Amino acid sequence: MKSVPRFILIIVLSYLGGYLFPWWTVAVAAFLVAVLIPLPPLRSFLNGFIAVFLLWLALAFFKDIQNDHILANRMSELIIKVKNPILIGVISAFIGGLVAGFGGLTGSYLRYKKKPVAVAKPVATHA
């Protein structure tokens, strides 16, 4: 149940950070949220990845509609040699998601404590 507030907090911090700081602040946002609200490492990675992936995909989609797909068409032809504006948006969202996911994973490793494993004591044998 901790995942939903973390998800929303990562989206809000990433969106606000994107206007004030460089693009890689999504990793800092996911890191801070993972330190403040600890979860297991895999869930922290997925939380950061999915939050930023959906945020960047939505932002790319709305900006692409505003300029009538002109820039996305040209960039997709230049980078991936195919005229497909949706694919260039998915690729950029995937990169942002990976950066945020690794930021969240780092934060969870900093904070997450593994449960101790019970170690069996050797039985002393008397001959």
Q: What is the pLDDT of residues 71-101, one digit of tens each?
A: 888 888 888 888 888 888 899 999 999 999 9
Q: What is the pLDDT of residues 102-125, one digit of tens each?
A: 999 999 998 767 677 777 677 767
Alpha carbons 77 and 73: distance in angstroms, whole number: 6
Percent of the chain with pLDDT over 70: 93
Full-model pTM: 0.82
- Quote the pLDDT of residue 82: 85
The DSSP symbol for 68 reads: T
**In the Cβ-directed half-sphere of 69, how many Cα atoms lie within 13 Å?**
9
Query: Which of 51, 53, 69 minimizes the C-alpha distance to 9?
Result: 51
pLDDT over 90 at 3, yes or no: no
